């Protein structure tokens, strides 16, 4: 059974940093493109970014609102996806989901950016 | 970025009656491989999104056949043939053709 479990969310001040993790199991993680999608409270879904497999170059793509501030990485030896978030803004407050193939989703982790 | 619009944004429905949600993209969604990467998601209250339909009209495994997708070019539709209580939630269309992938604003389906 495919499982994605996000962690690392919490309360952080504007300008601060946070690193989210997504632990994957039940599939061959190293062969999977992985993505982060977020959802602000009471709002719709927004793509954050994605990372390809090392075989496909391991490159990353980001949505404009987070480009230059967020970094997606992966550790295939640990079956774990990461989202490093720097220079956080209040508008980054959201539940952050990891997903693969946009079929399998984690339960999400809440990030609150507030002073 | 490709802008996805949906209508209506709110859809009160009677149990057992049909429902239809429209989705329109600001650009065509045919990818270079010939496929159209238009997806439909359901998000029940307090849950993660669940993909119902991929490539316009293909149902995910386990999705009831009362859900169907259709469309081409820039206009797409999700239909529920007979709404059941468990269908309450927000429905999103999403294009996976042009990066960044983008979602529609969502259509809230509830029971009259």
From the list B50, B96, B103, which residue is nearest A44 (CB)? B103
* Distance (Å, whole) CA A4 – CA A44: 21
End-to-end CA distance of chain A: 40
pLDDT at residue B44 in the model: 96
Mean pLDDT taken over chain B:
97
pLDDT at residue B66 in the model: 97
- Contact between A75 and A9 under an 8 Å Cβ cutoff? The reply is no
pLDDT digits (tens, 9 = 90+) for B72-86: 999 999 999 999 999
What mean pLDDT comes out for the span A76-99? 98
CA distance A108 to chain B (A): 7
- Contact between B81 and B55 under an 8 Å Cβ cutoff? The reply is no
Chain B neighbors of A105, CB-CB under 8 A: 48-50
pLDDT at residue B111 in the model: 95
pLDDT digits (tens, 9 = 90+) for A22-59: 999 999 999 999 999 999 999 999 999 999 999 999 99
- Closest residue in chain B to residue A41, using alpha carbons only: B46
pLDDT tier, B64 (very low <50, low <70, confident <90, very high otherwise)? very high
From the list B1, B96, B103, which residue is nearest A45 (CB)? B103
B39 touches chain A (CB under 8 A): yes
What mean pLDDT comes out for the span A81-101? 97
pLDDT at residue A108 in the model: 98
CA distance A52 to chain B (A): 13
pLDDT at residue B67 in the model: 98
pLDDT at residue A7 in the model: 98
Chain A neighbors of B50, CB-CB under 8 A: 105
pLDDT digits (tens, 9 = 90+) for B16-38: 999 999 999 999 999 999 999 99
* Distance (Å, whole) CA B24 – CA A36: 24
Task: From B5, B2, B107, B13, select the one nearest B52 (Cα to Cα).
Answer: B107
pLDDT digits (tens, 9 = 90+) for B83-105: 999 999 999 999 999 999 999 99
pLDDT tier, A107 (very low <50, low <70, confident <90, very high otherwise)? very high
DSSP code at position B101: P
pLDDT tier, B46 (very low <50, low <70, confident <90, very high otherwise)? very high
């Amino acid at each position: 059974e495919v499982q994605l479990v996000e962690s690392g969310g919490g309360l952080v001040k504007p300008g601060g940093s946070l690193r989210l993790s997504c632990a994957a199991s039940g599939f061959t993680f190293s062969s999977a493109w992985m993505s982060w999608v977020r959802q602000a409270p009471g709002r719709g879904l927004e793509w954050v970014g994605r990372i390809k497999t090392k075989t496909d170059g391991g490159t990353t793509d980001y949505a404009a609102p987070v480009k230059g501030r967020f970094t997606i990485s992966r550790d295939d030896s640990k079956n774990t996806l990461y989202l490093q978030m720097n220079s956080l803004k209040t508008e980054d407050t959201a539940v952050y989901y990891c997903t693969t193939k946009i079929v399998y989703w984690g339960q999400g982790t809440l990030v609150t950016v507030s002073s | 970025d490709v802008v996805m619009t949906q209508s209506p944004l709110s859809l009160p429905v009677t149990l057992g009656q049909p429902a239809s949600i429209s989705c329109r993209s600001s650009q065509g969604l045919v990818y270079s491989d010939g496929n159209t990467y238009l997806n439909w998601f359901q998000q029940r209250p307090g849950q993660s999104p669940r993909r119902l339909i991929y490539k316009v009209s293909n149902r995910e495994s386990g999705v009831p056949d009362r859900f169907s997708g259709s469309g081409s070019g820039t206009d797409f539709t999700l239909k529920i043939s007979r709404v059941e209580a468990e269908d309450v939630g927000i429905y999103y269309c999403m294009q996976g053709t042009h990066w960044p992938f983008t979602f529609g604003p969502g259509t809230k389906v509830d029971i009259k």
